[in-house]
Structure 1
Amino acid sequence: MARSETRVMTNTDPDFYPVVGPYLANRAVAKSLGGPVWDDPGKTWIVRLDEAGHLAGFVAVTGRGKVESLYTAPGRHELRPALVQAAVEAAGNRKLSAVVSHSRAAAYTAAGFTETSRSANFTTLHRPAQETTP
């Protein structure tokens, strides 16, 4: 049996569109997230594949330090904290922000984000730049 795999990708990766493409601008994914998923130049995607090689979830980090589009396949919500943590690691030590549905906020706070505001449907979170040790 194959093992699950976490991959870091950009839209220049030859596997990106075959793996993530079906989820971009997908109505069911947009409903789950509260808005559509778009790919943009400079975005880094953390993609989790299950044991069968199917997409189990993903999250993206923009060049401006936004962590967004945290999606998990139905029944795979337990992957959310690990995906956000992987996004933090991929982003390096820079300041990060996110605006997410309330149901996803706990995955961000587990990765060191702090809630800064809340609206009827979304939570805004920030994570300060991390100091590096020499």
Structure 2
Amino acid sequence: MARSETRVMTNTDPDFYPVMGPYLANRTVAKSLGGPIWDDQGKTWTVRLDETGHALGFVAITARGKIESLYTLPGRDQLRTALVKAAVKAAGDRELTAVVSHSRVAAHTAAGFTETSHTANFTHMIRPAGGGTS
């Protein structure tokens, strides 16, 4: 049996849509995140795959340095921090921002983000350049 793996991909990778397609415009995913996810050009996705190549969770980073769309399958919340840290590492040493539901704040905090403001449903966060964690 193959081991699970973390992959970085974009929507130009040949297996992007077979892996990510089931989550795009998915009502359950949108409800979990507070809105739908999009496969915009310039996004880099960090995806945790199981032994069969199906996504257990993922997070995206935009070309402008916004971390978004952090999602894990039910019962896989423990993957959130690892996914955000992997996305931060892939982004390099630059400022990053995120607007996340309150349930995802801890994963971002563990990856070096701090809260800048919040609303009833979301927390705005920033990770300054050079502010990464391992």
TM-score (norm 1): 0.95
Deviations 1:69-97 (A, max 9, x none): 00001110000000000000111111000
Q: Which residue number corresponds to residue 6 of structure 1?
A: 6
Q: Which residue number corresponds to residue 27 of structure 1?
A: 27
Deviations 1:88-116 (A, max 9, x none): 01111110000000000100000000011
Deviation at residue 52 of structure 1 after TM alignment: 3.1
Q: Which residue number corresponds to residue 104 of structure 2?
A: 104
Deviation at residue 51 of structure 1 after TM alignment: 2.4
Partner SS state of residue 99, structure 1: strand
Partner SS state of residue 19, structure 2: helix
Deviation at residue 118 of structure 1 after TM alignment: 1.1
Report the Cα distance in structure 2 between the residues aligned to 1:52 and 1:18, rounded to whole angstroms: 12
Query: Which residues in structure 2 correspond to 1:43-54 (within 5 Å)?
Result: 43-54=43-54
Structure 1 unaligned blocks of 5 or more: none
| Corresponding letter in the other structure for 1:47 | V
Q: Which residue number corresponds to residue 89 of structure 1?
A: 89
Q: Which residue number corresponds to residue 78 of structure 2?
A: 78
Report the Cα distance in structure 2 between the residues aligned to 1:112 and 1:18, rounded to whole angstroms: 32
Structure 2 unaligned blocks of 5 or more: none
Report the Cα distance in structure 2 between the residues aligned to 1:8 and 1:58, rounded to whole angstroms: 10
Report the Cα distance in structure 1 between the residues aligned to 2:53 and 2:9, rounded to whole angstroms: 15
Report the Cα distance in structure 2 between the residues aligned to 1:21 and 1:91, rounded to whole angstroms: 23
TM-score (norm 2): 0.95
Report the Cα distance in structure 1 between the residues aligned to 2:72 and 2:47, rounded to whole angstroms: 10
Give the aligned CA root-mean-square deviation in angstroms.
Answer: 0.9
| Corresponding letter in the other structure for 2:119 | S
Q: Is the 8 A contact 2:117 2:123 kept in 1?
A: yes
| Corresponding letter in the other structure for 1:88 | V
Instruction: Please identify runs of 4+ aligned residues in structure 1 that moved more than 3 A.
Output: none
